[in-house]
Structure 1
Amino acid sequence: MLHTTRNLLPRILQYSSNKTFLTLYANNFNNVQKRFAGHNKWSKIRHVKGVKDLERGILFTKLSKEIQLAVKLGGSDPGQNVRLAAALASAKKAHLPKDNIDNAIKRALGQIKAESIENITYEGYGPGGIAFLVETVTDNKNRTVKDLKHFFTKAGGSMSVVSWMFDKKGSIQFNHGSTQDTLDKMMDNAIEINEVEDIQELDDDSLEIICPSSSVNAIYGELTTKYNYEVIRMSSGYIPTSTIKIDESDKELMEKLTRFMNNLNDHEDVIKVHNNAEL
């Protein structure tokens, strides 16, 4: 049944790697004794810059792997490969250098020698019994599974089958593009598209469609060619069929979740993390 509502899905626990990552490092830095006032400002700048450089390096690695996998699965023409088009859009937004993009494509086409990569999703229970699905792109699955198993165990959880708690869905975010259509008009048009299951109005005057993951390409084509709308983001992911309510005042649990999710996010093989926690 089609729903058109602002709050279509429960607010699932999300995290901003930038905010959490920088906050943790800032807290550590504040515990350092200030011995040399004249050098303290530069030390802070250098420290924060180092964190940002590390963070950007991890992001660039993930983006390059996603481009490589997209080309491997669907070819190097973004006009025919929606996953590649989405990966290139993300790369552009993150200012991934052109050389990195070109090299990722060449590796996928075999023009540059590279290790074979795989797209593997790992499952398990994290802190508080929360179910997690962790999507990875890896050239060494033995290393990846060892690291993820360590993260789950350290957080008091375990790797186990939890995918039955989720439905795999596609999502497409779009705006009016070159048209002057209102949100109501856009919603009316989107409702007419086959396989659209849900539509959500977002805060930036755009809409998000929820659909079967297999229908993303077809819906993208209809939005852009029939209605001339601009597609901002496309992705496939997992939506929980049931959620676990998290008490935000439980500091111990929130700290465990923060550490666990930072560990996942900081791993260069991890592309997406899904969970069934609700705040």
Structure 2
Amino acid sequence: MRTPVFRTFQCLCRASFASTASINATANATTYTCRRPATQGIRTFTSTSTTASGHSRWSKIKHDKAKVDARRGAGYSKLSQEISFAVRDGGTDPSNLRLKAAIEAAKKAGMPKDRITTAIGRGQGKSASGVALEPVSIEAIGPGKVALVIDCSTDNKLRTLQDVKCILTKHNVQITPTAYLFSRKGLVRILAESGGHTFDTVLETALEIEGTEDVEEVAEGEDGKPEILITTEPAQIKVVATEVKEKLPGLEIITYGIEWVPNEDTMIEVDKERTADSLEELLAKLEDVPEVNDIYTNAKA
């Protein structure tokens, strides 16, 4: 074993090493002694460890990156839903322009190829491996007593339940029945003014179709654009969507499907200071789970 060598510095001189210092070596130590006149005194030096400040730049980078990743995951989720809807609406034929546009948008956003393939399969009711998907719903009470219904499609029910419940547990969410706070309704979302058709025109046309329950204007839809929302009986959703599009050429249907609509008398006002951030963080984490199709809440907009 080598004997460790310890060095002791008695001063630091500005003069060159050759002209101001000599070395006295021993077996275990080497001492540097200054040859400057005694009248100049001896300067001694000590060193202490530097104490880190109360924050870390890396922790800030990680925090910022997490927010960016959350936004990216939410964006991928919406793109996946658009691809799946396009497949359900028009199949995978090359003539399906909506599917083509959705895939191009996903590629432009940097969405992984395997996730695009999975989204197409979901539109066909199959997983990426070709196995039929099974619907799974999870009900819970989230931040601020907000009710949640999480709809999933999966080829492995147990795995999906574990993944979703793990996220809910980390956010102190209680898994409990909440479906009684909602009603199942068919919803047709239409881009306002598309094809040159006004709200009144869509309203009159939709009300003539059997199964239509309500028609309303939405100032800012999911994509930030004005929409027209047609509510239907669940069994009549496809009939209403098809007929209104046939009667009003050029009308653009954004999406249609059966959803959980919160009952008006059970909706909750969200405290923006205490609850909004926690709820948004939870929803972003859930949307990042590939098997999650939709998340419904009874929170007031």
- TM range, smaller chain: 0.5 to 0.7
SS at match of 2:137: strand
Deviation at 1:132, TM superposition (A): 0.6
Letter in 1 for 2:173: G
Q: Is the 8 A contact 1:117 1:139 kept in 2?
A: yes
Distance 1:142 1:231, change over 3 A: same
In the alignment, which residue of structure 1 is the partner of 2:247? 226
Structure having the higher Rg: 2
What secondary structure, in the 3-state scheme, does the structure 2 residue paired with 1:197 have?
strand
Q: Offset at 1:221? A: 1.1
Residue in 1 aligned with 2:234? 213
Identify the residue that residue 185 of structure 1 maps to in structure 2.
201
Stretches of structure 2 lacking an aligned partner (at least 5 in a row): 1-53, 220-224
Task: State the secondary structure of the residue aligned to 1:232.
Answer: strand
- More deviation, 141-150/59-68: 59-68
TM-score, length-scaled by structure 2:
0.59
- Say if 2:70 and 2:285, in contact at 8 Å, map to a contact too: no
Q: CA RMSD in A?
A: 4.4
Q: 2:167 aligns with which of 151, 164, 175?
A: 151
Instruction: For CA contacts below 8 A with separation 6 or more, give which structure has more relative contact order.
Output: 1
- 1:256 is aligned, of 275, 278, 301, to 278
> 1:261-276 maps to which residues of 2 (within 5 A)?
261-276=283-298
Residue 89 of structure 1: CA displacement?
6.8
Greater mean alpha carbon deviation, residues 269-278 or residues 103-112: 103-112
| Alignment partners' CA distance in 1, 2:162 and 2:209 | 43
State the identity as a percent: 25
Classify 1:191/1:145 alpha carbon distance in 2 versus 1 (closer, same or farther; 3 Å): same
TM-score of the superposed pair, with normalisation by structure 1: 0.63
Give the letter aligned to residue 204 of structure 2.
Answer: D
Post-superposition Cα deviations, 1:103-139, rounded to whole Å, max 9, x if no partner, equal 7657959897445432211111222322110011223
Alignment of 1:159-178 (within 5 A): 159-174=175-190, 175-178=192-195
Q: Distance in 2 between matches of 1:111 and 1:262?
A: 23
Amino acid at match of 2:140: G
**Unmatched 5+ residue regions in structure 1?**
1-30, 36-42
CA distance in 1, matches of 2:86, 2:197: 32
Q: In structure 1, what is the Cα distance between the partners aligned to 2:201 and 2:298?
A: 33
Classify the secondary structure of the residue corresponding to 2:286.
helix
State how 1:87-98 maps to structure 2 within 5 Å: 91=103, 94=106
Taking the aligned partners of 1:227 and 1:69, their CA distance within structure 2 comes to 21
